């Protein structure tokens, strides 16, 4: 089948503003949007800038806006979207070129919440495992699924207006450690998330949960972190 794809293009070295360019591609209904972008880049216009790596929904590098909705280009099938298929870069981050954005403001928020296991070395002999029950593991199972694609954060109207807000993905990754029974950095993270750029900037728009390609209950995780910051001592 013939498919029309419309891509928002922008080259800061030559363009004064972003503009749409249309392409006609011979595609199968089961092709992914990433396949179309590849086809355009490899056979029609080599200057198209696209970021991707795994092509299988794991690395999180090809989040874009498809017909107005944040998604991974490698996970959306041609048969499931209306034509023309409009592809734009994710919103709220500076555009390097075409569909490639500067992820640094996103990763700054991620780093700010210390997304690693913080342990008390005096609790265990170094050679011993830190045991965890299946019930304790279940407590943060949902938030372990994050692939840092930024679909949630760049669907958030608060983040669009304020890049200093750590954003939903950072809070999801803080949740993953705050509720880990082996971790001892919860109080420190909750203090960080209680500052003016932390979790309480969230206005519960639910855009983040709808945008997440991993089906993570992002808004719920944010609410659990807010509740812990207000009522729990970890």
DSSP letters, 24-35, are: EEE--TT-BHHH
CA-CA distance, 29 to 78, in Å (whole number)? 5
Stretch binding ligand FES (CB under 6 A), from 46-54, 88-96, 189-197, 226-234? 46-54
Q: Which does 169 bind (CB under 5 to 8 A by kind): ligand SF4, ligand FES, none?
A: ligand SF4
Supply the minimum distance, in Å, between the C-beta of residue 191 and ligand FES.
33
Least distance to ligand FES, CB of residue 56, Å: 6
Contact 209, 163 (CB under 8 A): no
Site for ligand FES in 70-99 (CB under 6 A): 72, 74
Q: Give me the least distance between CB of 55 and ligand FES, in Å please.
A: 5
Encode burial over 195-229: b for 16+ CB neighbours within 10 A, e otherwise.
Answer: eebbbebbeeeebbbebbbbebebbebbbbbbebb
Closest to ligand FES by CB, 145 vs 227, is 145
Residue 54 as a binder of ligand FES (CB under 6 A): the answer is: yes
**Which partner in ligand FES, ligand SF4, none is near 58 (CB below 5 to 8 A by kind)?**
ligand FES
111: region left, alpha or beta (phi > 0 left; psi from -120 to 50 alpha): alpha
Pick 73 or 216: Cβ nearer ligand SF4: 216
Q: In whole angstroms, give the CA distance from residue 232 to residue 214.
A: 28
Q: Taking CB under 6 A as the rule, does residue 145 contact ligand FES?
A: no
Summarize as ranges the residues that interact with ligand SF4 (CB under 6 A).
60, 146-152, 168-169, 172, 211-212, 214, 216, 218
Q: Residue 153's closest CA among 234, 218, 215, 99?
A: 218
The one of ligand FES, ligand SF4, none whose footprint includes residue 146, by CB under 5 to 8 A per kind, is ligand SF4
Dihedral, 224, 228, 229, 233 alpha carbons, nearest 10 = -170
- Our finding on whether 8 is near ligand FES (CB under 6 A) is no
Residues 154, 74 contacting (CB under 8 angstroms): no
Find the binder of ligand FES among 31, 60, 85, 98 (CB under 6 A): 60
Query: Minimum Å distance from CB 66 to ligand FES?
Result: 12
Give the shortest CB-73-to-ligand FES separation in angstroms: 6
Reply yes or no: is the peptide bond before residue 84 cis, omega within 30 of 0: yes
Residues of this chain that interact with ligand FES (CB under 6 A) are 52-55, 57-62, 72, 74
């Amino acid at each position: 089948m013939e498919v029309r794809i419309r891509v928002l293009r922008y080259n800061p070295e030559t363009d004064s503003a972003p503009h749409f360019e249309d392409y006609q591609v011979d595609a199968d209904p089961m092709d992914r949007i990433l396949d179309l972008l590849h086809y355009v880049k490899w056979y029609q216009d080599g200057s198209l800038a696209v970021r991707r790596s795994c092509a299988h929904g794991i690395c999180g590098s090809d989040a874009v806006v498809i017909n107005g909705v944040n998604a991974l280009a490698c996970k959306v099938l041609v048969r499931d979207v209306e034509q023309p298929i409009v592809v734009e870069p994710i919103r709220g981050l500076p555009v390097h070129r075409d569909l490639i954005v500067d992820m640094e403001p996103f990763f700054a928020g991620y780093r700010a919440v210390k997304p690693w296991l913080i342990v008390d070395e005096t609790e265990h002999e170094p050679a011993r495992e830190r045991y965890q029950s299946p019930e304790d593991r279940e407590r943060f199972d949902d938030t372990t699924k994050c692939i840092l694609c930024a679909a949630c954060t760049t669907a958030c109207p608060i983040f669009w207006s304020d890049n200093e807000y750590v954003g939903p993905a950072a809070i999801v990754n803080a949740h993953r450690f705050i509720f880990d029974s082996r971790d001892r950095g919860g109080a420190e993270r909750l203090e960080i998330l209680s500052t003016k750029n932390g979790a309480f900037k969230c206005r519960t728009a639910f855009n983040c949960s709808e945008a997440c390609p991993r089906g993570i209950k992002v808004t719920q995780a944010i609410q659990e972190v807010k509740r812990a910051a207000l009522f729990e001592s970890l």
